Structure 1
Amino acid sequence: MKKIFWTVLLLVISQWAIGQKTIAKTYKNLDINAEFIADTLAIDSNIKKALTYSIHEDSLAQALFKKSLSTAYRLQSQEQIAKVFFEMGIYFYNNFEYFEAIKSFNKAMPLFENSKQEKELAKLNYYLGQAYYYVYSEDSAFKYFSRALNLYRKGKNTGGEAWCYNGIGTIYGSKNYKVGLKYLNKALAIYLEENDVKGATSAYINLGNIISDNVSFKEGLPYYEKAIAALAIQKSDYNLAIVYNNIGDCYINEKNYVKALFYFEKALETSNRMDVKNLNGLIYLNIADVKLKQNNLDEAIIYSNLSLEHAKKNNDMVIQANNILNFSNIYEAKKDYKKALVFKNDYISIKNRALVYEEQKKMQLFQSINELERSQLEIINLKNKNENTHLKLQSKMNLMYFLIFISIILTVFVVILVIQQKTKKRYYDLLNSKSEQVNTLKDKIQVKNDYLNELNTTKDKLFKIIAHDLRNPLSSIEAFTDLMLQEEDAYDEEDQTAFLHAIKESAMKASLILNDVLAWAINQDSSLVKQRVYLHKIVDEELKLLEVLALQKQITIQNLIHERLSVITDKNKVTTIVRNLVANAIKFSHLEGKITVQAELVDNFIKISVHDSGVGIATNELQALFTADNKKSKFGTQNEKGTGLGLLLCKDFVEKLGGTIAVESTLNVGSSFSFTLPFTDVTPE
């Protein structure tokens, strides 16, 4: 008994002692002496050396960063700790490890904010924007670019503003190229005024890409040439290889294969000078494409094989698929149709694997971003815990009395447990005789528990879908609103109109999601209200509501259900099911398409079917249509948007009504969604 008491007391006191660790301080609260300065110089030296290592020597770099962190924590300096985390993020950023970079930047963020280092905070937000852009999270990138822009403006740092304009312009390049060009030209003007060669090079490359893609190659070429001239001074082989490759791509579109080949060979020569030749697969593929178009079939095979070798080494499924397609086209040109067909089938197979791989990468991206956001939240929580620890130091004696009191309570608790243990022994024989009954009940409980776990898993998946789909529109609204709240003369009327359209579109998307969630939530609590329902009349009423959508696409909808056919069921739920299925049919039908709604009696069930002649659904996608795993909503034939929750609602409602839901579809031919309702002719009282 005494051993238990002293063990518990020792554990509690040790936890209190650990909590007394002093939190990091800012420079103004530290004693800056010669020893402190020597330690900070050692930190700078270790960081400088770590940044010289490549990603292949990561263990050496991390050892130096760890040593720097240890010194910074010993100094208890927030500024030094933040600096180490920031430079660690720069190391990962320069080596293309963007997720690791984001983790390190997020660890530095609260420390920079607490020490009010606005200059460093602006730079940190800019690098976070760049890192999120490179992992294809453009909404998050836009948010951090906007924050960095505000901080740079506040500090009157025009060079920093230019880099933010460059990042925002690049994001707009794929959405609204005119707005993107406006931001990039703002950045270029500042770069040229300040003789920033690196910045001007980046702006020239981005302007060349956007103008070549959206206006004409002829107008984009001068920007590429200016970028090449600047890169000759800057000596960046990676960017130079990309520019040469982009020019070659443009000459292919111009059908000037000689010049295209010239620039691809220059890109290859530049790429071969780099330690990591991650561009070679793409360049070899482009050269093979030129050789095929020049009818140099044997050379095309050689370059496709080289490209395929690099693509396999880098696990690049897209380039692998394009090379297999190249082989099919080459052998078709050689009139070896048998080999061409084999490669065509291989292309289809690897293309499907590539699509699955891309979906997995998107899921990994989503999970990684969530993990990063959780890490950031944990950092904030740790900061709050440190502040609480600081407050505990001021009430040390009170805490000691409290711990003694807790120890006494724990001792009493242990005594009670011993007494209870003796009482349990007296009932052991009785419990043993009842064990068989308990086991039977346990089995029943386990069955119900499995069912509840399955429902809980589906609910969790659904809420993850809702959280994921709501994040993008809400982030867009936050970012655009933040921009519009800046100085009145910062953006012209065209910019503000574009922002308002984006805010409206994001708000409408969020509203659609919330409407579907509300319908699902109401269904969970509401009971069935059964009455006689005439199916022809219900379908007619819903078709009138959807008539405008159908007229916009000149779609003909026929209601072939007999006017006298009725069923005893819940009218509201049937109405919701019909509305969702017909709306989906309209969404995925082509102009002047045809939709039919019909019903038939099958084994004491009424089967209602909605047929369309639309785009159809791939076989490998059918099984996931009615599950929470299918969280992506596809665009309609005219880019109509949805929430991805409609079919989940339909399945939930149909099963509550005692029926089943099914789908049959042929790609590019059409789809048929059907559901069943129990048929009875007895009207409820």
Structure 2
Amino acid sequence: MRIHNIYYAADNASYILVARMKPSMAQGTTITYPFHIRMRALMLFFCCIFSLTLFSQQKERDSLEALVKQKQREKGFSVKDSTYIDLLNKLAYSQRFYKPERLLIISKEAKVYSASAAYDEGKTEALINLGYYYSDKGKFKAAISKFKAALDIAKSINDSDLMLSAQNNLAGEYSYKGDYSNALEGYLDGLEVAEKNENDLMRSIITENIAHLYASQNDFEQALFFYKQVKKINEGLKKPISSAETYANMGSIYADMGKLEYAMYNVNSSISVFEKHNITAWLAYAYEVKGKIYLKQKKYDWALFWYNQSEMLHKSLEDDRAEIDLLNGMAETYLGMGKDSISEQYAIKAFEISGKINFKEGKQKCAKTLYRIHKNKEDYATALNYHELFQELSDTISRTENKKSLSLLKTKSQYEKQKAELIIENEKQLATQRNYVNAALVILMIFIVVTFLVHRSEKIQKNLNEELRIKTATLEENEKELKNINQTKDKLFSIVAHDLRGPIGAFQGLLNLFKNGEIHKEEFMGFIPKLGNDIDHISFTLNNLLSWGQAQMNGLITKPTVISLDNLVKENINLLSETATTKSIKLISTIPENTMAWGDGDQTDIVIRNLISNAIKFTPNNGMVTIASRENDDHWEVAIRDTGIGMDEETQARIFDQNANITTYGTANEKGTGLGLSLCKEMVEKNNGMIWVESELKQGTCFFFTVPKAHKRYQQAS
């Protein structure tokens, strides 16, 4: 039986090329040539293929060596590189059955580098590799120590894959040692983790290793029970190599049970896969199982042939544990052929290897073979010694403690079977209660209908309440909007009453005086400049009122185009120049020509006019108003600076507030609507700009606003 190890793959094999034989040749059912001729031909064929396998084998290891050296030559190379450590671990593992001393050296290096790099995954893999080395040498205590250390680290970093690898190998080491109680406990712990993480590959491997424990106790029926579970898991995995490993082990079980046809079918199924994928270690095992099947049939020539194929592969491996069964099988074959001296050589060699690696099962089997050999030689004293040793080892392996541990699991599986039978019985009993269930269902349906009607009524009521809530919210919103409209109306009438009615009434009174002859023409002409200013004020106020009213009622509609800031400023300077001249105020623009912006021309025009008008309004006689611009990354910054009376910080904070209603007389008692700056703010922001003010009392004021630059894409759009 071959225990699964899990590390870089589902098996512990290295890959080499092996010739694939036809099943008919393997079983010897259609050959008509004399046996010795057939045997020589097959041996020659396998020898040719074996040389190819060695080349392929070495090539794979050389490839890993090359990758390691390539990594070492890289610029900035460090032994703490996790990729380099992973390569070392893989290289070490590839040496396991070929150069075990290199496995030891490289694994120690990887462990040291992993510790210095604080790379726990690499350290865990290195410890598992070291465990393999000591396991193959039969140093159970050292191997168990390494696997336990690896398991502890894997648990600390919560790496389930490494945890399962270490747990499986630790349990396997207890099995090699003959401590089946701890082995079973370890496998069950691993199985629990695999099931929790839904790792079906490890479920397959661990379950198969549990089956191996039963096989070692010759409880073949229970072993087959677990192998069938493994086959079911493998069907879902769809991994041919995993299935082939199971077939090989089942072939060995069936051979031990005497079901040789089943044994031959399973082992041939495994061989075809191992040969296809060049899996040397498992292929050597499968050949050995096939030799065992022929040995059971007492077809010694064919048994020896397949044992020889396995032996040939073992020459390229250093797998002492697997070689023991092979050598003992060859010893039994030569014993059956009557070649006792050759048989003894193989049996002694197997016995010595078993002793070297402390493998009790191997020593037990070899002791039995040596007993038979010495009995045939009539060396009864030596035969008795070997028989006593065989009996002692058998008692040790099958001690009550181990059997009890396995019986627990057997009881568990029997419980599962009984549980299934109880379920079937319960289903039969439930069938007799279906009438009661049907009656209960009718009552339940009535209850559901009533509940549905109640729920439906509640839902309707809930919908009505929601509809009422929405209508109430709508009414509240309409009420709020109506209040805003009333406020707008009140403000509009207030402005018309105070700022428009006064100048219009004065103009009307003056005309009536002139009409009635109460003033002369010369006197009337003297009032013309004042009348002109009043009309300009009325016009300006009306323009602001209309723009503000449209914004309040319908919202500002912005239609951006390419506009010339310098032209807009010039037009407004011309428009307001007479008002400025009246107060001897200089209007100066330093905006360069072709200062093109992207915005609504009318709205920008209103902003510029309001800001210049305000500057004139609050600048004393003989003052100056300057309009300048500055180009930024994506916008123009326009500044309108005056030498006026300025304003305090409180006024600056409220000046743009729509609800502030700040109306201040100018230096010449000019009137205002209180709308200009709030309207400017809204229009500037509609054109994706910003507006702000900087001012000091008696030092003057500067209003700034920004407007996006006209890029080429805007110009094309216009």
TM-score by length of 1: 0.42
Specify the structure having the higher radius of gyration (Cα).
2
TM-score by length of 2: 0.40
